[in-house]
Amino acid sequence: MSILEFSFLAAVLTATAPVVPAALGGLICQAAGVFNIALEGQLLWGAFTAVVCGHLTGSAWAGVLGAVLATVLYAGLLSLASVTFRADPIVVAVGTNLLALGLTAFLMRRIWGSGGTYSSPDLAGLPTLAELGLDVPVLGPQSPLVPLAAALVVAAAWWLARTRSGLRVRGVGGHREAAEALGLRAGAYRHGVTLAAGALCGLGGAQLALGNVTLFSEGMSAGRGWIAVVAVMLGGARPYRVLLACLLFGVAEAVGFRLQGAGLPQQAADAAPYVITLLALVLVAAAARRRPKETTT
Amino acid sequence: MSAAGSAAELGRRVVLSTPVPAVGGALVLTTLVMLAAGVDPALAYPALVRGAVADGNLEYTIAAFVPTLGMALAFALPLRAGEFNLGGDGQMAIGGVVAAAVALELPLPAGIAVALPLAAAALAGALVAGASAPLRTRLGLPAIVTTLLISAPAVSLASYLVRFPLAEQGTGMAQTPPLPESAHLPALAGSAYVTIGLPLVALLTAAWLYADTRTVLGYEIRATGQNREFARYGGVAVDRLAAITLTGGGAFAGLVGGLIVLGPPYRFVEGALTAPGYTFTAVAAVLLATGRPVAVPFTVALLTVLQAGGQGMEREAGVPGQLTQVVQGLIIVIVAVFATVRHLRARSGGREARA
């Protein structure tokens, strides 16, 4: 079975890894009752700032740290506009997604003098686990951010189910008035999850630009932030289901890549992840419709 | 009230209406972005204006205004019913490729040779967008997500068609052969780039404005957009309206694709439809018009000038043209904030009036 080759599994992990942190960001926002569709722009901004910080410092880890901080800052714009000023979060997110596309394309021309793709032998990528001494099949060629993403899924599940702050976030999302009547400041939790989603998108962007490859190219998030939004819609507020949805996307991308190698046109490979994600979304939504309605919404 | 007083009142209302502070705020922020990036605004802004309107550039700007206005209708029509159509790129690309296929494969007499590909393009765009309607009304999946998810494979499909079955043989370029002469959109007198697409889209805009303000359908669409449950309670078939507005929006987007392909250079060139970013320039323009459909043609004109001028700015002042995309993104965020602040102020103002 060629589909179970190690290289295929590795390709699935590579395709999944940047989406998982972004989807977790969307998930904790969802848990707090915030529909966050700004992930696409934040993922792109994370990828860009990772490369800029990596370029400036010569260190991939500084790139990761810079991406996380810069994307928290970028998410602050969404948080300020939609939580503090109570602007429509969907419209603001449409704006920040477009802004990220323009700002990264603009700044890369100002910094490196040309658009398109920036890569340089001086730009350090993240080390692989094999280089760090963990030379096992499948995981070996991955960056340390890949197991970190998996750990974050476990952490998110534990946090939402078992900790006081996690339960409070869900309380704010489940019944805002009741939570506020109990003395929770809903706005503060909404700020918190929005900024945390920014940090996670920074991490996902760094994995995309310094883990999967070692370069930045315009629009390189290429819809992954939207896939993350769909993963949250598929998985609800349940982290393991969201991980499963991200893996489905990863498999679709890896299969598309394989098929391209087997002679299928590149456009089919490009379309595969979207088509499969959309089909999954439709099937899950149709199945949910057929089940008797639960009392909570 | 004296004439001067009412003029001052009118002036105050114009200044405080959302688009003005939004444009002003965006210009201030753009200037700050320029300064932060080490660009001299005193050089950049004149270059921007020249790039949009000086020596022959005006014709390009008007030519770009047509698809942007068309895409504004594609976004605005569903938005009035509360549905976000972000899949304009896919609807436009499929419309364009269908128009090219019809024009290339069916030898038609003059007149119909233009009308039929355009109608087919509109129909194709309507089908692509319409796919999101049952997903929205039956499965509760937000149109903003499904239109976007459908758009990406639709663009891929158009790209595949133009590279393989419809490709011009022997050139290796991702484009169709030139369309037959009879399918060319007639150019407006004395222009090389502006076609009858301009009056056509202007007419459609006028029809939309009329329908929005003066017809029952328009009223029901607005009622649904303002409060879906209330409209449903009032007897409006809200699900049907979601389907009508989404397919209608898709038809506009498909038509734009057809207009681009039947206009110069009279063929489907890959990227020529989606690369200029008409879809999101239009989104920014519609949001900038903040619920005033009459303002849409003006905001579209403003952002088209900005977009076209951005290229001039790049040539003359060496400022990357992507700055205009930055401005569009900022405008959307600022509009969203101003709209809420105004809403909240109106509510608290009402309370004071009653007290």
Query: Model confidence over B197-218: pLDDT tens digits?
Result: 999 999 999 999 999 999 999 9
Chain A: give the shortest CA distance to residue B323, in Å: 6
Surface-to-core class of residue A218, CB atoms within 10 Å of its CB (0-12 exposed, 13-18 middle, 19+ buried): middle
Domain layout of chain A by residue ranges: 2-290
Is the residue at B24 inside a domain? yes
- Residue B349: the pLDDT is 54
> Quick check: A98 and B339 CB within 8 A?
no
More confident residue, A173 or B345: A173
CA distances, A173 to each of A153, A185, A201 (Å): 19, 12, 21
Is the residue at B57 inside a domain? yes
pLDDT above 60 (res A127)? yes
Is the residue at B3 inside a domain? no
**Structure confidence at residue B18 as a pLDDT band (50, 70, 90):** low
- Residue B351: the pLDDT is 44
The tens digit of pLDDT for each residue in A191-227 reads: 999 999 999 999 999 999 999 999 999 999 999 999 9
Report, in angstroms and rounded to the nearest whole number, the Rg of chain A calculated over CA atoms: 19
pLDDT above 90 (res A144)? yes
CA distance B244 to A77: 35
Beta strand pairing call for A117-118 and A216-217: antiparallel
pLDDT above 50 (res B124)? yes
Please give the average per-residue pLDDT across B96-106, as a whole number: 95
**Among partner residues A85, A98, A274, which is closest to B280 by beta-carbon distance?**
A98
Is the residue at B194 inside a domain? yes
Is the residue at B6 inside a domain? no
Contacts of A32 (CB under 8 A, 6+ apart): A169, A170, A172, A173, A189, A190, A192, A193
Q: Residue B349 is part of which domain span?
A: 18-354
Please give the average per-residue pLDDT across B29-44, as a whole number: 83
The tens digit of pLDDT for each residue in B236-293 reads: 999 999 999 999 999 999 999 999 999 999 999 998 999 889 999 999 999 988 778 9
CB pairs under 8 A between A and B: 145
- Residue A296: the pLDDT is 45
pTM: 0.91
Closest of A103, A80, A37 to residue B336, by C-alpha: A80
For A93, the closest chain B residue by CA position comes to B333
Number of residues assigned to chain B: 355
User: In chain A, where do the E strands start and end?
Assistant: 117-118, 216-217
Residues 148-167 of B with CB under 8 A from A: 148-150, 152-153, 156-157, 159-160, 163-164
Is the residue at B8 inside a domain? no
Is the residue at B302 inside a domain? yes
Please give the average per-residue pLDDT across A45-56, as a whole number: 97
- Residue B354: the pLDDT is 37
Assembly ipTM: 0.90
Mean pLDDT is highest, among A121-130, A224-233, B306-315, for A224-233
CATH number of the domain encompassing residue B95:
1.10.3470
Is the residue at B7 inside a domain? no
Count structural domains, chain B: 1
- Residue B344: the pLDDT is 67
Q: Which architecture, in CATH terms, is A2-290?
A: Orthogonal Bundle (1.10)
**Structure confidence at residue A1 as a pLDDT band (50, 70, 90):** very low
- Residue A228: the pLDDT is 96
**Among partner residues A81, A107, A271, which is closest to B156 by beta-carbon distance?**
A271
> Quick check: A110 and B37 CB within 8 A?
yes
Strand-pairing partners, residue B144, are none
